[in-house]
Amino acid sequence: MSDVFDQLVTSGAAPSSSPQTTLKDFSEIEEVQTDNTQTQDSPTLTARKVKQAVQELMKSGYLEASRKPNLYQQSVLSQEQINRILEPLDLRLTIDDIRGLAFLVVSDTWQEEGSAESDEWSHPLVRRQRITMEQSLLIAILRQQYIAHEQEAGIGATDARVDIDDLLSQLQVYLGDIGSDSRERKRLDNLLDKLANHGLVQVDDKQHTLTIRPIITHLANPESLQTLLNHFKHLSQQPDVDSPVDQQEAEQ
């Protein structure tokens, strides 16, 4: 009985003269190898997700479960691994699972070593933000609004909205009335633009409202609020200062 090689010879074709068959065979082998590689390299896919979470944390500084649930969940599941990645950078991942937040902070080790070497902030990857007293005051007001929303709707509740006109009235109580509605609104809009750049608020101009982001509870922590209060007390003891709001800056 003739085999396949005899049939090829009888038909006048040699095995080496059928490149199409050979290429097809090779393509099938490559497909199998690719599938096997993907199966064997599944841990690499997980590592890629961790990389994505770390990259987003380095880009924005924080992750919200309500906005990027997959990356947030990955950061929670891989917190220990991510902290090992961040350790040489003197950064640390902190999780607020109640509010669905994952955010970066400067490690305690760097703060201790940095304060021992110099009084100046010198972390190469984290630029210390200097915000005006007006911005600090607005942050404190917004944090109060957010806490009030949580007390009513429950801790971790999202969608803390504030009417911009109501916010303007509250700000005028502390900063005084400029005497022009347009200038008052422009001042508030400028302040909100600054806070939006920091990811603290999201302004909806069509509805004349803004949404307070939960990260504000950590930025405006009790220590920074106490610093702001002490600054106001200090200014109250200096009646000769004409415009403290325009001249002074408070560090958050």
Q: What is the pLDDT of residues 93-125, one digit of tens each?
A: 999 999 999 999 888 776 666 554 555 556 666
Q: Looking at 68, 87, 117, which one is the last position of a domain?
A: 117
**Does the reported pTM lie above 0.85?**
no
CB 92 within 8 A of CB 86: yes
Residue 59 is assigned to a structural domain of this protein: yes
- Indicate the average pLDDT of the chain: 76
Q: Where are the beta strands (DSSP E) in the chain?
A: 62-64, 91-96, 101-106, 130-132, 160-163, 201-204, 209-212, 249-251
Q: Are residues 238 and 206 in the same domain?
A: yes
Q: Both 153 and 108 in a single domain?
A: no
38: β partners: none
100 phi-psi bin (left φ>0, alpha ψ -120 to 50, beta other)? left
Same domain, 213 and 230: yes
Average pLDDT over residues 158-186: 87
Do 140 and 178 reside in the same domain of the chain? Answer: yes
The pLDDT assigned to 7 comes to 53
Q: Are residues 60 and 36 in the same domain?
A: no
Contact between 62 and 199 under an 8 Å Cβ cutoff? The reply is yes
Max Cα-Cα span within the chain? 115
For residue 24, what are the domain limits?
4-40
Number of domains comprising the chain: 3
Angstrom distance (rounded) from CA 12 to CA 216: 81
